[in-house]
Structure 1
């Protein structure tokens, strides 16, 4: 099945594209509304995932034009998180609405439900329970401190991206931290021990990159 992904932010577009491709979907990824509509008219698209605030033509306008053509399934993926935003999107014909930031498994399950293939194996070894600050690895709970949870969540949300130690320090400890880069290395060692091999890669000269192991 082919998914059309319209997202103007480069890093987010590549990250979501990677999520879908790991599940076996074909993906056409574009950076603006006009390109999304052109791909819809020229390719066999089974489902569209659209960012609301795309340039040239916003996601809501694109969704309305698509629905006028045929009843394609559409998921709106957006930072707009007010109830009236969701109401507006649903009234425009959007089938589902997911706000950023989001977790990969939630996005994949919603897409699979829209496509009617929820029975497929959506393989996500890590499941975050943010309200409880807990993480499951292959259905078993990891014993994490709050700081370890915060670092793992930050790495996971930026998977595929090479992060510097300073970026990790600022994001996990905040602007007023008094730690040095060796603190990051220490926590990375702890997380590697708890996760096992393959999740956290060292990027020499930069820092670290989080990757989900292949099936």
Structure 2
């Protein structure tokens, strides 16, 4: 499940940059251009974290932070052009979880957000339009969720975590089906076909190595 971020910011260009950045990191992003709209989106979208500017029309960041905190304990990161210890303390005192001063590094902000949300980079896999969550077994291809069986999840997790390594059918049987499996090793071929179909445009990443087995390879032919 994608984490949801609400950006409350009145600078249109910055909104676009932040939205693009976090969507590339596989977040679901909602935006508001003033404090009042931000409060509405907070109630409507139930985000996991809020990126909140201070100087905004209609309701400023302090007011938004205070109102949100009265209703929820979700993380709030305040963004401001001000560089004052007093402002930072004020934000933290009214319930903000962290504070970042403009101009800021997008990489630093992403790391900060992931740390607050306790997102483990090793708990999922993302490349191109593929997103696979090892914990939930959720697979998305180009933003579309794809349903997997338990065996398909086990297979994908194993080959992705061991990408670049060639596995024989026997090895895959042992790792995915278990050592006590007594069926035909051709079930591996059938499973691979199903997984390739579900990977759609990325099916060629599960490659056949003639006479040896299969490999998950990020390099396209």
With the length of structure 1 as denominator, give the TM-score of the two structures: 0.55
Which of 87, 97, 120 matches 1:85?
Answer: 87
The SS at the match of 2:58 is coil
Give the aligned partner of residue 71 of structure 1: 73
Rg bigger for which structure? 2
Give the aligned partner of residue 45 of structure 1: 47
**1:76-111 deviation line (CA, Å, top 9, x unaligned):** 011011111101100011000000001111000010
Q: Distance in 1 between matches of 2:92 and 2:11?
A: 23
CA contact (8 A) 1:79 1:101 kept: yes
1:22–1:36 CA distance, 2 compared to 1 (3 A)? same
Which of 117, 120, 128 matches 2:119?
Answer: 117
Q: Quote the offset at 1:122 in angstroms.
A: 11
**How many residues get paired?**
123
**1:134-155 deviation line (CA, Å, top 9, x unaligned):** xxxxxxxxxxxxxxxxxxxxxx
Give the aligned partner of residue 211 of structure 2: none
Q: Quote the offset at 1:42 in angstroms.
A: 1.2
Give the aligned partner of residue 62 of structure 1: 64
Unmatched tracts of structure 1, length 5 or more = 124-215
Q: Distance in 2 between matches of 1:109 and 1:23?
A: 11
Q: Distance in 2 between matches of 1:80 and 1:26?
A: 28
Q: Quote the offset at 1:59 in angstroms.
A: 1.0
Q: Quote the offset at 1:2 in angstroms.
A: 0.7
Give the aligned partner of residue 34 of structure 2: 32
Give the aligned partner of residue 108 of structure 2: 106
CA contact (8 A) 1:52 1:76 kept: yes
With the length of structure 2 as denominator, give the TM-score of the two structures: 0.53
4+ residue runs of structure 1 moved beyond 6 angstroms?
none
